[in-house]
Structure 1
Amino acid sequence: MKITSINVGLPQTIQYQGKELTTGIYKTPVSSSLFVSKVQIEGDGQADLNFHGGVDKAICAYPEEHYVYWEKLRGHELEAGTFGENLTIRGLQEHDICIGDTFAIDEVIVQVSQPRQPCHKLAKRMDWPEAALHVQETGYTGYYFRVLKEGYIAPDSEMRLIARDEKAVTVAFANQIKYHDRFNLEAVKRVAGIEALSDSWKQSFQKRLAELEA
């Protein structure tokens, strides 16, 4: 596991197809140490706090390995942070990491809270209307961390696993049940029962569970 880039950016207003759009998806790699609070990394921000940011989504992470796939598909190189992630990480893909897994990044302690849900702003960031749907269908979504202990991180910070969640539900599995195997009752129960799952995903899965059991 290795952090290959730390990326931050404050919301900005852009013109897209003749309309103004305020978004925080534009992230730029940094070379300095930054403070990580319970809700975000220093120098970072989100435009729509109803769907982005907050305690459960303090840090967005994306596997570096996926960039090869997207660059081949799009036909050009992509800079770290293209997917709006704060941390570009090598060696920790969706099938490697479980919701509730806890990691130390130097003095900062983080916990996986949910898969990342791509939105329409990613499509506009990449100028590719199908971007969000394609990310969802491939399962190359990335994931969010909540911050359990604040502190400083740097681009060369070490990252190590502290504890595995006892439910052992990978981000890849949660994505599969969320988007594809929607009516698998036992699997929906399994995801809904993860204590560390973010409030928004827990509510979504509990609602689906109630519908399946009705």
Structure 2
Amino acid sequence: MPLLTMRLISINSGKAGPLFANQHLDRTVVMSGIKKSSISNIDQASPVDINALGVIGDEQADLTVHGGIEKAIYVYPREHYPFWNALLLRELKTPFDLQPGAMGENFTITGLLEADVFVGDTLQIGDLEFIVTKLREPCFKFNAKMRYKGAAKAMLQSGHCGWYMRVITPGKLMAGNAINLLPGKQETSIADQVRAIMKREMQGDLWD
């Protein structure tokens, strides 16, 4: 278990809108809800309504692969942000200072990483409860959002994927709340899922 205090540091939301996908050979513009910004953070900890489908007011463009009960909340650790700032600086030759929501996540957290979280674990945050369901698998839209064609591949290779959660107890939540992890069966961690995908896709090209 990490030594850092486990805490929710930002709740993020966004509307679906056009995303220029010039990194994808077959598409130029697609709709996406990946562009999110903080609506509650440590400096301005406003209460946010959470229901069974996630953050009220947040949108997803393609409900066949995003959102829904099993992927209502996307969580991402703040600890990975320096990795992305450094990678994008190296690849794009431009300084980056990515802010919470930049990965398309609803919850930016600290003190909890993919190796510590297992499918079926319960996260208690404030008065709300969530169940961990699966890792996030990035697609070409993530490449377009980051303006780097290797972003999805880098996310999986690094293991810095984050994870989805199902909402068990809805209600109001604000940034700053501590996170309490209640272990489930702990048979498959999010890091285990990442490794399984990488092994399965070794002979294919997952990132076309």
Q: CA–CA distance in 2 between the matches of 1:19 and 1:122?
A: 14
- Contact 2:143 2:150 (C-alpha < 8 Å) held by counterparts: yes
Residue 33 of structure 2 corresponds to: 24
Offset of 1:77 from its aligned partner? 1.2
Q: Which runs of 5+ in 2 are unaligned?
A: 1-5, 41-45, 90-95, 203-208
- Contact 1:14 1:20 (C-alpha < 8 Å) held by counterparts: yes
1:125-151 deviation digits (Å, cap 9, x = unpaired): 111111111111111100000001111
Residues 1:62 and 2:73 aligned together: no
- Contact 2:121 2:186 (C-alpha < 8 Å) held by counterparts: no
Q: CA–CA distance in 2 between the matches of 1:30 and 1:66?
A: 20
Q: What root-mean-square deviation, in Å, do the aligned CA atoms of Structure 1 and Structure 2 show?
A: 1.8
Paired letter, 2:17 = Q
Higher helix share: 1
Q: CA–CA distance in 2 between the matches of 1:182 and 1:12?
A: 30
List aligned pairs for 1:1-214, cutoff 5 A: 1-17=6-22, 19-31=28-40, 32-75=46-89, 76-161=96-181, 163-180=182-199
Offset of 1:181 from its aligned partner? 6.2
1:13-34 deviation digits (Å, cap 9, x = unpaired): 2444493321100000113211
Paired letter, 1:63 = P
Q: CA–CA distance in 2 between the matches of 1:72 and 1:52?
A: 28
Identity of aligned residues (%): 33
Q: CA–CA distance in 2 between the matches of 1:49 and 1:34?
A: 22
Residue 194 of structure 1 corresponds to: none
Residue 193 of structure 1 corresponds to: none
Q: CA–CA distance in 2 between the matches of 1:147 and 1:36?
A: 8
Q: CA–CA distance in 1 between the matches of 2:115 and 2:121?
A: 12
Q: TM-score by structure 1 length?
A: 0.80
- Contact 1:30 1:155 (C-alpha < 8 Å) held by counterparts: no
User: Match of 1:45, SS?
Assistant: coil
- Contact 1:35 1:42 (C-alpha < 8 Å) held by counterparts: yes
User: Match of 2:86, SS?
Assistant: helix
Identify which of structures 1 and 2 has the higher relative contact order when contacts are C-alpha pairs closer than 8 Å and 6+ apart: 2
Q: TM-score by structure 2 length?
A: 0.82
Matched residues, number: 182
Paired letter, 1:56 = E
Q: CA–CA distance in 1 between the matches of 2:15 and 2:51?
A: 15
Q: Which runs of 5+ in 1 are unaligned?
A: 184-214
Q: CA–CA distance in 1 between the matches of 2:100 and 2:155?
A: 16
- Contact 1:61 1:143 (C-alpha < 8 Å) held by counterparts: yes
Q: CA–CA distance in 2 between the matches of 1:152 and 1:109?
A: 11
